[in-house]
Structure 1
């Protein structure tokens, strides 16, 4: 019998096609999603969980993690199309949309910074901060700093920036100086606050508490996954699979203490510190609808526009339409 089937393709060609399809099918099934992150950012905990448990392949995507040295480099990479997804805040997305970009945002975490004081500090409320030395991470236009300033002004008629010695700096440096007693209080990012808690510090007020006092109805997602709307429209399977994998990783991190023990070398934390980071992370898992998130973001945008002006929010005085992404039917 010859290798040519009567009225069909040569048998060797049929076998070659079958083998090629067999080898190619996983690649064809999985769409690549290039995710840009800071090398030691907390987003790596979720991405590591996704990769360790194959949650990306399970959901039809292949996550390609790209590391960057700073936020500016990550922003440039996204705008240039060198990555598909990054993590940032909705305020930046709204500002970019007001300038004509098509970026959009999916909530990732409601964990935010807090004003921290030593456990033995006599400071009990924002009113007690008058005339104190305060460390602030993120700069004068940091959202958490502006919200806490707004709360101090509205509740205690206190101008935190004007009536205190403010030292701006990098989060790890400020955390270390706080441990050394160089500040009366320090406002830092949530993960550094959690590490300070492990060293006996306590929260004076969080940015979420300030936001609630200024009109938010719940904890608002501070950061989220950001991507171009056109990319999501052109790659619906990729973005939907990526977000499903993200949700499954969060669910695992929410229920499994053992998963946090596996992540300990990535997080670089001892047990007490790890437990606090775990609990604070879990508190920050978003559980509200996109409508609720967007409504509160709009309220806070108005507050931030009043407090930070155009330097913070850009030319748009209101939250730009489309800032929060909704899957297209």
Structure 2
């Protein structure tokens, strides 16, 4: 039997050891590669502010994710992109998630924002309470099935025994148009999304009521998340660390936006704010909407709000289901 020369044997052993070290290092490098997650967002939506913070500060990679932002034209386009597999995550409301689950889909929701709309009035307009809205011209963002509008209607019915659709003159339109018509004096009050209400506040208008402030009187506990990050349970099962990493990056970005005015100054071009007052109003409105509480807290608030909305909006809004579909709110974080 041939024996290897000791020097040859030593060289061969050293080569194996070196190869093992190199392959081991390569394995760790491959394992450390961040997971790509594609997030579909509206090009000019407020979600893009947070995603910009995540990417600018490398928070996605810090938590093992490579964030890919896909800009889309409108809310319907984001839903189509998610359903077609073009993106992994979108931002939408839990009503959509519940209806999709009732239809057999496996989408689930993690709270992104508790920022609510507000009913804005002029400080000298003579409207001091919801009772003063009788006969007034009210602009409402979106459609007759907007959640904030339905919650306001339900609150007015319970507290004043009055149906706003009958007692006031209501106009539904796009948020920017409503602000314009309100400032021109063609509307007496406007119920608009939080970022548009903030812009009105920067111009001296005042909130008659914040939608979040209506909830306690409607039996909704705590604060209500209105929109959230939505993804499939299949994604969460296949890439749990990536999904949790993305949520952790989101929370880290929100913590920075909660405390750093300098970060808001950096974001100003992205917000579209053209003056300090508007930027400050947007900043404070965003900060009020940063989610609080646990997934269980969000579940309780959403379930209670669902019952109110189902009663007020009916089957056109919620479909045939009398309750929130199980699994709508993700409990995995």
TM-score when scaled to structure 2? 0.92
Question: 2:117 touches 2:210 (CA, 8 Å); kept in 1?
Answer: yes
The match for 2:211 among 189, 207, 215 is 207
- Residue 66 of structure 1 aligns to a residue in which SS? strand
Q: Distance in 1 between matches of 2:47 and 2:16?
A: 52
Matched, 1:182 2:186: yes
Question: 1:36 touches 1:65 (CA, 8 Å); kept in 2?
Answer: yes
Question: 2:268 touches 2:279 (CA, 8 Å); kept in 1?
Answer: yes
Report runs of 4+ in structure 1 exceeding 6 Å deviation: 8-11, 17-20
CA RMSD of superposed structures (Å): 2.3
- Residue 161 of structure 1 aligns to a residue in which SS? helix
Q: Which has the larger radius of gyration?
A: 2
Question: 2:119 touches 2:190 (CA, 8 Å); kept in 1?
Answer: yes
Match of residue 150 from structure 1: 154
Q: Distance in 2 between matches of 1:46 and 1:297?
A: 23
Question: 2:296 touches 2:331 (CA, 8 Å); kept in 1?
Answer: no
Q: Distance in 1 between matches of 2:157 and 2:227?
A: 25
Q: Distance in 1 between matches of 2:276 and 2:29?
A: 43
Aligned-residue offset at 1:21: 3.5
Q: Distance in 1 between matches of 2:303 and 2:12?
A: 69
Q: Distance in 1 between matches of 2:218 and 2:330?
A: 25
Match of residue 285 from structure 2: 280
Unaligned runs of 5+ in 1: none
Q: Distance in 1 between matches of 2:266 and 2:157?
A: 44
The match for 1:253 among 254, 257, 263 is 257
Unaligned runs of 5+ in 2: 1-6
Q: Distance in 2 between matches of 1:199 and 1:158?
A: 31
The total of aligned residue pairs comes to 325
Q: Distance in 2 between matches of 1:244 and 1:99?
A: 30
Q: Distance in 1 between matches of 2:162 and 2:151?
A: 13
Q: Distance in 1 between matches of 2:11 and 2:246?
A: 44
Aligned-residue offset at 1:173: 1.0
Match of residue 169 from structure 2: 165
Matches within 5 A, 1:269-308: 269=273, 270-308=275-313
Matched, 1:226 2:230: yes
Match of residue 12 from structure 2: 6
